[in-house]
Chain A
C-alpha cells in the first residue's frame, strides 16, 4: 500500500518538475514546482520524517516559492517583454548530462545487492533530542548564517 502511494507521489513529483523546467513563463514554473514540492513533502512523511515534511510545506512551498513569485512579478512588471526561451540546441548538453546521471545510476543499481536496513523509524522526539543535544553547535551556526543572509539581503536591497 505504501509503495503504491510512493509511486503515485513520485510520478506527481517528476511530472511537476518536468513541467516546471520546460514552462514558458517563470510564474507557471513556480506553480508547477509548488505542486511537486507538496508531493515531495508527502514522500518525506511516508519515509518517516513528519517534521521535515511540515517544514518542506512551510518553508519551501510557502516562503521560498512566494519569495520567487514576488521577485518574478516585480521583474516582469518593470520589463514585460518575454524572456528568450532556450533553443533546442541549448537542451542537448542538458540531455547529455541527464543521460550520464541515469547511466551511472543504472550501473549502481545493477551492480550491487541492496544494503542491510537498520532498525525502526525515527519519532519526532528522538529527532529533536539528536538535533538539540548532539548538533547544538550546528543549530547556532545555522542561526548565525540566517542572520548574515538577512543583513546581506538588506544591504543589497536598499535604495541608494
Chain B
C-alpha cells in the first residue's frame, strides 16, 4: 500500500465538497442538481475503496458496488421524472414547480 489513506480521504472530501457546492449553487436547475449528487456519490465510493485498500478487506469494494447499483436506479428514476416534468411544464427550472406553495 503506497498511497496513504489520508490523501485518498482528502481527495474524496474535496470531491464531496464540490458536489455539495454544485447542488447548492445550481438549485434552480434539476439536471445540474442531479450531477452534483453523482459527484457526491462518487466521492463516497472513493472513500469505501480507499478504506478497502488500506485495511485489506473486500467489504469496501462490495459496498461501492452497492452504491453503483443504487446510483443507476436513482438516476434512471430521476431522469424519467425530469422528462415527465418537462413534458408537463416545458421547463426544468425548480421555481416553475411551486404550485404546492411549499
Contact between chains at B32 and A29 (CB < 8 Å): yes
Known A-B contacts A68-B31, A149-B76; the reply to A83 vs B92 at CB < 8 A is yes
Known A-B contacts A30-B35, A72-B31, A131-B65; the reply to A52 vs B49 at CB < 8 A is yes
Bound form: Cα–Cα A152–B27 in Å: 25
Q: Which residues from chain A contact B82 at a C-beta distance below 8 Å?
A: 71, 75
Q: Which residues from chain A contact B14 at a C-beta distance below 8 Å?
A: 14, 102
B22-55: which residues lie under 8 A (CB-CB) from chain A? 22, 24-29, 31-32, 34-36, 38-39, 42, 45-46, 49-50, 52-55
Bound form: Cα–Cα A41–B70 in Å: 18
Q: Which residues from chain B contact A13 at a C-beta distance below 8 Å?
A: 11, 15
- How many Å from the CB of B20 to the closest CB on chain A? 5
A1-38 contact mask (Cβ, 8 Å, vs B): 1 or 0: 01100100010011001101100001001100100010
Contact between chains at A98 and B21 (CB < 8 Å): yes
* CB pairs A–B below 8 angstroms (22 shown): A14-B14, A17-B15, A20-B22, A21-B21, A37-B42, A43-B11, A47-B52, A52-B45, A52-B68, A56-B68, A60-B68, A64-B75, A90-B24, A90-B27, A98-B17, A130-B58, A138-B66, A142-B70, A149-B74, A153-B80, A156-B77, A156-B81
* Chain A residues in the interface with B (C-beta under 8 A): 2-3, 6, 10, 13-14, 17-18, 20-21, 26, 29-30, 33, 37, 40, 43-44, 46-49, 51-52, 55-56, 59-60, 63-64, 67-68, 71-72, 74-75, 78-79, 83-84, 86, 90-91, 93-95, 97-98, 101-102, 105, 108-109, 114-115, 117-122, 126-127, 130-131, 135, 138, 142, 145-146, 148-150, 152-153, 156-157
The 5 nearest A-B residue pairs measured at CB? A149-B73, A118-B56, A94-B21, A118-B55, A21-B22
